[in-house]
Every structure is written in structure tokens, then in C-alpha cells.
């Protein structure tokens, strides 16, 4: 899967915007949105929030976790714990990138937030590699991966699953091939 | 635009008991799309979902043609339609990709299907697979095989084209709680053990172990 | 990413994938053999020899695909010797530290070719299979780390010592990383020319330079 496809999935997340226009309820296939009234907060999917922001039709309210103090705490816990700690949002990385790129004027201390999220990400990816290596070395058959996000899994999944497939084949090559599988050319 | 979007008619036409709201339908499409993307083999065809989604899209587009252009509301609808269309095409494309990769096995499986079992391929996909097979055979014959000695002119594509590797590892998230899933050991030093899967938990495991759970919708691949 | 051409991967194991180019190249590798019975009128196979027949007991190096065709446990036409890298001495080196070995120089199809050797019923089969697996496990971490840290760097030094199978993995790791980094810098949204068109342009520039 491409990172941009993971981003596509993240764009479904709901965020709060404060519109500067009025519009009746909109009946989309995926559900109803609105009504929109100037100055009144309303929940919309991220894809729509960004589009409205680009047309200067709204202000985006940053999610409650997108805050320097909270993120510092998250980063410190992540560094302290050996396991993966729960993230404030399953798409924290995508949300941070999209909101900071498109609405940084609505987010206080945008630069600090970017660094904090990136630090947390780096810590988690380092843990992910560590656990991938031990999974391979111990030749495990199953792992529980709670709290890992889709984007994190996605950065390593092709490489990792291909390696596991190779190992499986190397391990089973001693057994005689299944009947009827022998190939004569 | 404010029409009732309940899908009961379409769903029952397609022979299903389920009544889905349009939002649920789109979620089903998303799940089918991701499962298909990550599963090593070609999954059962979800023609019903595809047809319902197409119907929704066409319906919406017809409505939009009647509406005033340049309206903010209209642009929301257009964007949503584009997003759904993207998922739908990507879903169909990943199926075609697998058909091209595993065509002899896909056709074999379809041939071996018992009466009453649901087809693995939509009629269009079946036609595509057959044509792909015929074209590949013709190509190999024309470029190479016909120049070979007579006893070497046949090639069994079932043996030549690698099978889907059902033993490959996949990532999944649990939707319905599962108990005592047996995990086969990887080495002789290990022994078989059972795991429970709680709702919302995520796992890395061999596809073969949980393939029935993907088919039933109890877990989804990620 | 959707590739218009999707290569058939190497079989890796006792079976080759018939349509895999990697496996075709691999099965071209030579294997030292001893003839257990003479081969009449096949003298041309032995480039050094000038006789019409190849006598029993001759030692020669034959490509794997030919050995597979001639090898038959019952008729004993030919017996296979293990190439050095799969023998006891090298197996000890691998178990000490698999990372120090230049598998490209020694291979370059170390794993695939090694798995193919299991077809010849050597008494050392179990040890060979074990070593192949343990070597892969031992080198995994380094391949993962280098493929995940090598963005925008010259990777030729890293890749030089990898076996063909490991190179494919390395590329998979890199493209995962590159895809993520491009996304992070907002370049995923830009439409770029295909690599084919780009290299065509480079050639054009090069021509005008000279």
C-alpha cells in the first residue's frame, strides 16, 4: 500500500471546523453533514475541512491532542516504555502532516508540534525494527501488535512479510515436495 | 438531493437479506478493498457491493446534473463521488492484478466450484481470466513452443505459474472476538498453541490460519 | 504502486519457478560433479577434453539445470559434490558471523542455489538447510537497517555484499522508505514522469553535452 493511500483513509477522520458561511444540511452518501452557520463549530471529515480551508471558507480547530504539553507527555511515555503506547489517534501522523501543511495558521506552536510528533514516530519505528528482528530471530508464529498504526505498519510491511516468506520457504525446503507438485519440464 | 437513500430495494434485488444504509455500504466497500489488497489469494467476488455502489454513484451523478453548478454543496458531492470512485477502481484493479498473476489457478478454482457455491469471479472477471489464459498460451506457442521438438511443445501453465502463497504473513484487526485460534509452530522446538483475539486487537499471523475469518468478516486485513 | 510488468519471483526451495528469470539465471550456475558412468559421444560437453566419449570417473563442472536432468538416485549416472561455500568449513564461518561474508562474491544465488542442492540427497542436507535459514536470520537485521537508513545515499557499497535474494529485499525496504519520505515531504501528490521517460531525457542531455 502507498503512504498516500493510508493518507486517503485518514482523510475520513472527523475534525471540527468553524465555517464563515451558511449552508443547510448536506446529504452525502456517507452520511449527513452540517448545517453550517458562520462562527458555529461543526464536524466534517478531514478531506472536506482541508478543501474548505483552501478556499478560505473555514478555520480548523486542531484536535485536542495536538497540543505541545500533551504531545511532550506522549513522547516521554513512548521513550520510557518498552512496548508501543496508545496513540491519541490511529492516524496521528497523517493528521499532523495534513493539518500542519494546510492549516498551520490555525494551530498554535505548529513547528514544535511537528518536531514532537516526528520524535515520537522515530522512537516507535526504532521499536518496530527491534521487534521485527526479534520476531525473525525467535522464529515466532504470531505477534500481537496493538497500538501500532496503519502508517507505521505500512512502512515496513512489504519488506517484513517478504522476509518471513523467504524464511518459511527455507525452513520447509527440507520436506519432500507435495505429491503431484513435482514438475517435469 | 434530499431523497431517502435506504438501500433496501437494491440489496434485496441482489439476493441479499441484509439491508444496508449507504454509509454502511461504503464501509463494506472499503473493507473489501483493503482485504483484497492484503490477501495473498483472490478473494470471493463482492459483485453485490460493487453493483450497489455503482448504482449509488450513478444516481447521485444524475441528481447533480440537474443541480446548479458552482454551488458549494455540489462540490462536496463531487468530491465524495471521486473518493468512492477511487476506492472502487482500486478494488477492481487489485483483483485484476491477482487474476493476471494467478490466472491458471483462478480458473481452476472456478471450474472446481460446486453447484450452489458463490462464484469467485464476476462474469466480467471470468471472461477476462479466460481471455488472458488464451492469449498467454497463444503467445508462448507463437514465440517459442512451436519451434521446439514435438515432444516438448506442451506447457502446463498450472505448473508454470506460481500459486498464491497462503502461508504468507498478514496483519489484521479483529472485528468479532475469536477464541482458541490454533497457531502452528514454526520450528520443531516449538509446539502448537492457542490464542484468543479480542475485538480491536491487531495481529501478525500466517494467512492460512485466519483465511476463513477474513471470508466471514470476523477480522479485517490491514 | 501499480507496475505494468510484474516479474515472477524466484521459487526458493526445491522447486524452481519456470517463468522466473532469476531462477533461469540461477540454474545456469555450475556445480562440480563426478561421472559414475561414462557418457558416450558427449565429449563436446567438456571443453578441455578432446575425446569423443567422457569416461566414467571424470570430474566436471556442469550447470545446475543439466545436473538436475542427469541426476537419478537409482541409475547413478552422476554424483554431485557440494560447492565449497556449502561445505562444513564454510558452514562454521556462517554460524560464527554470517554478516562478514560477501555473499555476492560467493553466490550470487546463495539461498536459491543452496535450496536446489537439497534435491541431490546429500547426507549433509539437514545441516545445509539449517545453515541457509540461520544465515538469513543472522543477516536480516543488517539488511533491514541499511535499507531503512539509506535514503539519498549511495547504496552500492551496502548492496555489493548481498546475495540476489537479499538485494530484492533491500529494494523492497528502500521503496517502502522512499514512498514514506516522499509522502512526508508532500511529493506524493505531485505527478512525476515515469522512470523510463526520465532516463530517456538523461540520455538526450548526455548526447548534447558531448
Under a CB-based contact definition with an 8 Å cutoff, are residues C54 and C43 in contact?
A: yes
Looking at the 3D structure of chain C, how many domains does it have?
A: 1
Q: Which domain holds residue C105?
A: 21-184
Under a CB-based contact definition with an 8 Å cutoff, are residues B214 and B221 in contact?
A: yes
The average confidence (pLDDT) of chain A is: 91
Helix residue ranges, H only, B112-219: 123-143, 157-160, 207-216
pLDDT at residue A65 is higher than 70: yes
Low-confidence winner among B123-132, B191-200, C4-13 (lowest mean pLDDT):
C4-13
Task: Name the residue among B72, B80, B159 with its Cβ closest to that of A183.
Answer: B159
**Grid coordinates belonging to A127:** 521499536
117-156 in chain A: CB under 8 A from chain B:
135, 139-148, 150, 153
Q: DSSP letters of chain C? A: ---SS-PPPP--SSSPPTT-HHHHHHTTSEEEEEESS-BTT-GGGSSS---SSBPTT-EEEEEHHHHHHH--TTT--EEEPPPGGGSHHHHHHHHH-GGGS-HHHH-SSHHHHHHHHGGG--TTHHHHHHHHHHHHHHHHHHHHHHHHH-TTS--HHHHHT--HHHHHHHHHHHHHHHHHHHHHTT-TTS----HHHHHHHHHHHHHHH-
Provide the pLDDT confidence category of residue C157 given band limits of 50, 70 and 90: confident
The answer to whether position C58 is within a domain reads yes
Residue B20: what pLDDT? 86
What tens digit of pLDDT does each residue of C160-173 get?
999 999 999 999 99
Q: What value, to the nearest 5°, has the Cα angle with vertex C187 and ends C184 and C193?
A: 150
Mean pLDDT of C91-102: 89
- Interface residues of chain A, partner chain C, Cβ below 8 Å: 2-4, 7, 97, 101, 129, 132-133, 136-137, 139, 151, 154-159, 162-163, 166-167, 169-174, 177, 181, 183, 185
More confident residue, B203 or B154: B203
Provide the pLDDT confidence category of residue C192 given band limits of 50, 70 and 90: low
Query: Could you tell me how far CA A177 lies from the centroid of its own chain?
Result: 42
**Diameter of chain C by CA atoms?**
69
Under a CB-based contact definition with an 8 Å cutoff, are residues C53 and C44 in contact?
A: no
Asked if CATH classification 3.40.5.60 holds for the domain at B165-222, the reply, yes or no, is yes
Chain A residues in contact with B31 (beta carbon < 8 A): none
More confident residue, B185 or B206: B206
The answer to whether position C190 is within a domain reads no
> Cβ of B3: how many Cβ atoms within 10 Å?
9
Q: First vs last Cα of chain A: how many Å apart?
A: 36
Chain C residues in contact with B145 (beta carbon < 8 A): none
The matching CATH number, chosen from 1.10.10.10, 1.20.58.1030, 3.30.420.10, 3.40.630.30, for B5-163 is 1.20.58.1030
What tens digit of pLDDT does each residue of A84-96 get?
999 999 999 999 9
Mean pLDDT of C94-113: 90
Chain B residues in contact with A134 (beta carbon < 8 A): none
CA dist C46 and C189 (Å) reads: 59
Under a CB-based contact definition with an 8 Å cutoff, are residues C140 and C172 in contact?
A: no
CA dist B106 and B99 (Å) reads: 7
Touching check for C1 and chain A: CB below 8 Å? yes
Where residue A109 falls (left for φ over 0; alpha for ψ -120 to 50; beta otherwise) is left
Is A173 exposed, middle or buried, given 0-12, 13-18 or 19+ CB atoms closer than 10 A? buried
55-74 in chain A: CB under 8 A from chain B:
57
pLDDT at residue B10 is higher than 50: no
Residue C164: what pLDDT? 92
Under a CB-based contact definition with an 8 Å cutoff, are residues A170 and C133 in contact?
A: yes
Residue A182: what pLDDT? 39
* DSSP for residue B152: G
User: CATH topology of B5-163 equal to that of B165-222?
Assistant: no
Of B186, B36, B2, nearest to B125 by C-alpha is B36
**Grid coordinates belonging to C41:** 559421444
CB-based contacts of A91: which residues, under 8 Å, 6+ apart?
A: A6, A9, A10, A13, A149, A150, A151
Chain C residues in contact with A156 (beta carbon < 8 A): 148, 173, 176
pLDDT at residue C12 is higher than 70: yes
The average confidence (pLDDT) of chain B is: 88
Low-confidence winner among A24-33, B79-88, B201-210, C145-154 (lowest mean pLDDT):
C145-154
Q: Which chains touch B (3 or more CB pairs under 8 A)?
A: A, C
Is C196 exposed, middle or buried, given 0-12, 13-18 or 19+ CB atoms closer than 10 A? exposed
Provide the pLDDT confidence category of residue B2 given band limits of 50, 70 and 90: very low
CA dist A68 and A117 (Å) reads: 10
CA dist A27 and A18 (Å) reads: 19
CA dist B62 and C56 (Å) reads: 83
Residue C76: what pLDDT? 80
Of A5, A90, A21, A9, nearest to A47 by C-alpha is A9
Provide the pLDDT confidence category of residue A179 given band limits of 50, 70 and 90: very low
What tens digit of pLDDT does each residue of A108-166 get?
999 999 999 999 999 999 999 999 999 999 999 999 999 999 999 999 999 999 999 99
Query: Could you tell me how far CA B204 lies from the centroid of its own chain?
Result: 20
What distance in Å separates residue B146's CA from the closest CA in chain C?
18
Mean pLDDT of B104-123: 89
Residue C200: what pLDDT? 60
Highest mean pLDDT among A52-61, B151-160, B175-184: A52-61
Above pLDDT 70, what percent of chain B?
Answer: 92
CA dist C136 and C191 (Å) reads: 38
Question: A164 and B205 in contact by Cβ < 8 A?
Answer: no
pLDDT at residue B92 is higher than 50: yes
Above pLDDT 70, what percent of chain C?
Answer: 81
Residue C197: what pLDDT? 61
The average confidence (pLDDT) of chain C is: 83
What tens digit of pLDDT does each residue of B11-57 get?
444 444 567 899 999 999 999 999 999 999 999 999 999 999 999 99
> Cβ of A63: how many Cβ atoms within 10 Å?
18
Q: How far is CA B147 from CA B135, B139, B140, B141, C111, in A?
A: 18, 13, 11, 8, 34
Residue C170: cis peptide before it, omega within 30 degrees of 0: no
pLDDT at residue C202 is higher than 70: no
The CATH number assigned to the domain holding C153 equals 1.20.58.2050
pLDDT at residue C5 is higher than 90: no
In chain A, DSSP assigns E strands to 14-19, 26-28, 31-33, 42-45, 58-61, 142-144
**Grid coordinates belonging to A131:** 521487534
169-188 in chain C: CB under 8 A from chain A:
169, 172-173, 175-177, 179-180, 182-184, 186, 188
Residue extents of the structural domains in chain B: 5-163, 165-222
Under a CB-based contact definition with an 8 Å cutoff, are residues B161 and B105 in contact?
A: yes
Strand-pair partners of C110: none
What tens digit of pLDDT does each residue of C36-74 get?
887 777 777 766 667 777 788 888 888 999 999 888 877
Residue C188: what pLDDT? 60
pLDDT at residue C100 is higher than 70: yes
Residue C1: what pLDDT? 45
Is C203 exposed, middle or buried, given 0-12, 13-18 or 19+ CB atoms closer than 10 A? exposed
CA dist B2 and A4 (Å) reads: 33
What is the enclosing helix (H) or strand (E) of B182?
A: strand B178-183
Residue A185: what pLDDT? 36
Amino acid at each position: 500500500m502507498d503512504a498516500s493511500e493510508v493518507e486517503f483513509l485518514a482523510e475520513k477522520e472527523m475534525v471540527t471546523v468553524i465555517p464563515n458561511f451558511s449552508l443547510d444540511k448536506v446529504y452525502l452518501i456517507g452520511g449527513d453533514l452540517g448545517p453550517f452557520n458562520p462562527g458555529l463549530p461543526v464536524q466534517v471529515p478531514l478531506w472536506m475541512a482541508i478543501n474548505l480551508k483552501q478556499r478560505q471558507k473555514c478555520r480548523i480547530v486542531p484536535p485536542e491532542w495536538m497540543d505541545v504539553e500533551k504531545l511532550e507527555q506522549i513522547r516521554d511515555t513512548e521513550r520510557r516504555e518498552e512496548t508501543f503506547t496508545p496513540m491519541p489517534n490511529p492516524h496521528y501522523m497523517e493528521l499532523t502532516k495534513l493539518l500542519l501543511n494546510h492549516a498551520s495558521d490555525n494551530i498554535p506552536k505548529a513547528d514544535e508540534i511537528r518536531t514532537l510528533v516526528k520524535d515520537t514516530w522515530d522512537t516507535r519505528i526504532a521499536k518496530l525494527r527491534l521487534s521485527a528482528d526479534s520476531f525473525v530471530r525467535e522464529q515466532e508464529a504470531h505477534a500481537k501488535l496493538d497500538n501500532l498504526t496503519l502508517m507505521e505498519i505500512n512502512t515496513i510491511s512489504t519488506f517484513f512479510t517478504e522476509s518471513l516468506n523467504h524464511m518459511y520457504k527455507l525452513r520447509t525446503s527440507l520436506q519432500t515436495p507435495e505429491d503431484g507438485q513435482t514438475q517435469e519440464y | 438531493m434530499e431523497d431517502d437513500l435506504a438501500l433496501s430495494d437494491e440489496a434485496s434485488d441482489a439476493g441479499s437479506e441484509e439491508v444496508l444504509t449507504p454509509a454502511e455500504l461504503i464501509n463494506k466497500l472499503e473493507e473489501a478493498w483493503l482485504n483484497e489488497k492484503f490477501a495473498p489469494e483472490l478473494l470471493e467476488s463482492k459483485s453485490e457491493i460493487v453493483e450497489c455502489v455503482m448504482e449509488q454513484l450513478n444516481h447521485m451523478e444524475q441528481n447533480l446534473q440537474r443541480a446548479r453548478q458552482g454551488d458549494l454543496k455540489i462540490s462536496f458531492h463531487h468530491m465524495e463521488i471521486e473518493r468512492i470512485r477511487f476506492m472502487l477502481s482500486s478494488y477492481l484493479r487489485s483483483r485484476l492484478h491477482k487474476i493476471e498473476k494467478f490466472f491458471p489457478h483462478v480458473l481452476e478454482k472456478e471450474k472446481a466450484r460446486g453447484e450452489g457455491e458463490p462464484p469467485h469471479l464476476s462474469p466480467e472477471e471470468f471472461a477476462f481470466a479466460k481471455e488472458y489464459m488464451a492469449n498467454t498460451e497463444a503467445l508462448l506457442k507463437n514465440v517459442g513452443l512451436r519451434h521446439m521438438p514435438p515432444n516438448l511443445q506442451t506447457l502446463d501453465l498450472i505448473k508454470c505459474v506460481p500459486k498464491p502463497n497462503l502461508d504468507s504473513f498478514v496483519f489484521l484487526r479483529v472485528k468479532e472476538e475469536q477464541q482458541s485460534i490454533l497457531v502452528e509452530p514454526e520450528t520443531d522446538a516449538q509446539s502448537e498453541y492457542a490464542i484468543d483475539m479480542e475485538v480491536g486487537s491487531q495481529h501478525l499471523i500466517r494467512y492460512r490460519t485466519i483465511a476463513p475469518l477474513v471470508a466471514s468478516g470476523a477480522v479485517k486485513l490491514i | 504502486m501499480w507496475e505494468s510488468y510484474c516479474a515472477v519471483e524466484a521459487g526458493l526451495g526445491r522447486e524452481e519457478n519456470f517463468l522466473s528469470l532469476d531462477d533461469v539465471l540461477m540454474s545456469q550456475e555450475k556445480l562440480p560433479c563426478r561421472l559414475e558412468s561414462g557418457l558416450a559421444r558427449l565429449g563436446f560437453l567438456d571443453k578441455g577434453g578432446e575425446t569423443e566419449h567422457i569416461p566414467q570417473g571424470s570430474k566436471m563442472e556442469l550447470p545446475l539445470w543439466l545436473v538436475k536432468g542427469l541426476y537419478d538416485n537409482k541409475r547413478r549416472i552422476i554424483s554431485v559434490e557440494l560447492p565449497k561455500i556449502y561445505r562444513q568449513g564454510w558452514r562454521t564461518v556462517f554460524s560464527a558471523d554470517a554478516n562478514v561474508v560477501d555473499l555476492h562474491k560467493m553466490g550470487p544465488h546463495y539461498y536459491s542455489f543452496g535450496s536446489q542442492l537439497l534435491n541431490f540427497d546429500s547426507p549433509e542436507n539437514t545441516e545445509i538447510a539449517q545453515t541457509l535459514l540461520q544465515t538469513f536470520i543472522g543477516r536480516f537485521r543488517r539488511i533491514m537497517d541499511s535499507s531503512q537508513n539509506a535514503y539519498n545515499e549511495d547504496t552500492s557499497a551496502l548492496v555489493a555484499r548481498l546475495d540476489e535474494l537479499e538485494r530484492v529485499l533491500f529494494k523492497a525496504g528502500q521503496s517502502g522508505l522512499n514512498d514514506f519520505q516522499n509522502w512526508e515531504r508532500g511529493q506524493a501528490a505531485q505527478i512525476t514522469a515515469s522512470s523510463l521517460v526520465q532516463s530517456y531525457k538523461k540520455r538526450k542531455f548526455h548526447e548534447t553535452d558531448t
